[in-house]
Amino acid sequence: MKLFILVLLALSLRLSAQDPIEDKSGFSLGLVISPELSYRSYSLTTKGKEHDYLVNYGLPWRDSLESSKFSPSIGLAVLYNINKKVLIESGVYYANKGYKIDHMFITTQSGTTIREAKITYNYKYVDIPFKVNFNIIDKKVKLFLSGGVIANILINLNTRLEEEGWPAQENSSRDFSSPFNVSLVAGVGIDYDISNKIVLRLQPQYQRFITSADNSPSTDFLKEYLYSYSVNFGVFYKL
């Protein structure tokens, strides 16, 4: 959140001092692939002694089991150059966010361990970003700041259980997942003009949900927020 605010502040300061619009406006289309490391955080909406066990034991126990997961996202991006310094960016991406449990054990009612297992929680979204990019350095190699919001439209929540010696089992459900979320995104990137028409992009960025990914009525006092770190690799064509 602090990074996002700093990016927007830097953008607003530079926008207020920029030169008049130049004859360099236009659209660009791009293909972007993003290796993404995602995880989740929790927030209690109410506090009290009834939640002491959850805070002191339940959530630390989950944190000890769960970890971030890696998955790529891919999509099409659209850039519009307002002028030499400022670009508006949107597009459509497929993203697989979530987290995982790498090591857990299946036990009998008597407590005897019979096999090892792991679980992966896959939150599959269509992401539609709206970002403002501002060029700090505008030469053949461009350095830019980026910030904005993303509409996260849920396609499916898929839970994959892999037990030792058994076929993997998958369960798909949207019952208690928010069908629509909003996240903030901020980053810094480099564009390299390899020709008058073709641009290569490298852009690390951070994305965090500001709405809860879980709407389960049994845990309405506990909100789950997904977040991710990614690196965008893109190829853009200037129209």
Residue extents of the structural domains in the chain? 2-16+24-98+123-156+176-238
Neighbours of 62 (CB within 10 A): 14
Point out the least confidently predicted range of 18-32, 49-63, 92-106. Answer: 18-32
d(CA 128, CA 133): 16
pLDDT value at residue 11: 46
pLDDT value at residue 44: 79
128: pLDDT strictly greater than 70: yes
d(CA 97, CA 39): 7
Asked whether 100 and 66 are in contact (CB, 8 A), the reply is yes
pLDDT value at residue 48: 62
Q: What is the CATH number of domain 2-16+24-98+123-156+176-238?
A: 2.40.160.20
Average pLDDT over residues 120-146: 95
Asked whether 145 and 10 are in contact (CB, 8 A), the reply is yes
The strand pairing partners of 71, in sequence order, are 36
d(CA 147, CA 149): 7
Q: Which residue has the tokens 């459900």?
A: 173
52: pLDDT strictly greater than 90: no
22: pLDDT strictly greater than 70: no
d(CA 179, CA 156): 9
User: What average pLDDT does the chain have?
Assistant: 84
- Which one has a higher pLDDT value, 199 or 48? 199
Closest C-alpha to 90, from 152, 160, 14, 150: 150
Average pLDDT over residues 64-83: 93
Q: Which residue has the tokens 């839970």?
A: 159
pTM of the full structure: 0.81
Point out the least confidently predicted range of 14-18, 33-37, 128-132, 164-168. Answer: 14-18
The strand pairing partners of 34, in sequence order, are 73
CA 17 to chain CA centroid, Å, is: 31
pLDDT value at residue 191: 96
